[in-house]
Amino acid sequence: MLKKLFYASASILMLAIAYHLGAVSAKAQTNGLVQVGDIDAQFARGIAAVSGRTVYTANVAPFRPYGASAPVPGIDPVVAVDGADGIVMLANGDVYATDTYGVWQLQGNMIPGPTPAARPTWGQLKATYRK
């Protein structure tokens, strides 16, 4: 009986130590830094910035934040943004644009697909390594 009590006490102590050493405050998944920016003073929403997967837009003069978009779909980072037209490009070449309701729609991909390589025949492969 004493052995079971010891194991129970030791396990509670280990849980308390693990919590004490590993507990940190919860933080958002983005670091709050601007990854991509766009400044275009010809339009009302002349400034756009991407932080995480959200596009933030603002008016230029006078400076007034306009709003934040829905998260951009996909898993690749955003590499280009056009705040006035609501268009973003991801690192893999996917281009998304917002419709009138603010929903992101895939427009296409800027990078063509993989180039098919000619596969050698079994005889050509053997001849290459028999040299």
pLDDT of the chain, 131 residues: tens digit per residue: 888 888 888 889 888 887 777 765 555 555 567 777 877 766 655 788 888 888 888 887 777 777 788 888 988 888 988 877 888 999 888 999 998 888 899 998 888 767 667 788 888 888 888 86
Residue 68 domain-assigned? yes
Q: Which domain holds residue 58?
A: 36-109
Query: Would 127 be classed as within a structural domain?
Result: no
Cα–Cα distance, 128 to 131 (Å, whole number): 6
Residue 58 inside a domain? The answer is yes
| pTM for the full predicted model | 0.59
Alpha helices in 1-131 (DSSP H): 2-22, 122-129
Q: What is the Cα 96 distance to its own chain's centre? A: 13
Find residue 89's DSSP bridge partners: 80, 95
Q: Does residue 97 belong to any structural domain of this protein?
A: yes
119 inside domain: no
Structural domain contains residue 80: yes
Beta carbons within 8 Å of 38's beta carbon, 6+ residues apart = 47, 48, 49, 81, 82, 83, 84
50: CATH: 2.40.10
Q: Is residue 46 part of a domain?
A: yes
Number of domains in the chain: 1
Residue 59 in domain: yes
Which of 55, 38, 36, 62 minimizes the C-alpha distance to 98?
A: 55
Helix segments in 34-130, DSSP class H: 122-129
